[in-house]
Amino acid sequence: MLRMTIAAVALAIAAPALAETLTVDNIVALVSAGISDDAVIAKIKSSGTRFDLTTDQMILLKSKGVSGAVISAMLADNGAPAAARAPAMSMDSPDPMVPHPAGVYLLSSTGAGRRMQRIDPTVTNQAKTGGIFGYALTGGIASMSIKAAIQNETARVHAQENKPSFYFFFDESNPDTARMATAWAAGTAATVSSPSEFTLIKLMKKDGRREARVGSANIGGAKTGVMDKDRIAFDYEMVRPGVYRVTPLQELPTGEYGFIYAIAGGGAAGAMTARIFDFSI
Burial of 241 (0-12, 13-18, 19+ CB in 10 A): exposed
How far, rounded to the nearest angstrom, does the alpha carbon of residue 33 sit from its chain's CA centroid? Answer: 48
pTM: 0.61
| H or E element at residue 60 | helix 55-63
Of the candidates 227, 209, 205, the residue with the CA atom closest to the CA atom of residue 218 = 227
Q: Residues with Cβ < 8 Å from 85, sequence gap 6 or more?
A: 77
The 10s digit of each residue's pLDDT in 189-206 is 456 788 998 999 999 888
Domain boundaries, the chain: 2-85, 103-280
Q: What is the C-alpha separation between 97 and 256, in angstroms, rounded?
A: 29
Mean pLDDT of 112-125: 84
Q: What is the C-alpha separation between 253 and 199, in angstroms, rounded?
A: 17
Q: Residues with Cβ < 8 Å from 193, sequence gap 6 or more?
A: 170, 171, 172, 242
pLDDT band at 171 (very low <50, low <70, confident <90, very high): confident
Predicted confidence at residue 272, as pLDDT, reads: 56
Averaged pLDDT of the chain: 76
Q: What is the C-alpha separation between 185 and 171, in angstroms, rounded?
A: 10
The 10s digit of each residue's pLDDT in 125-150 is 666 665 555 556 565 555 666 777 88
User: What is the sign, positive or negative, of the torsion defined by CA atoms of 234, 259, 253, 161?
Assistant: negative
Assess contact for 157 and 279: CB atoms under 8 A.
yes
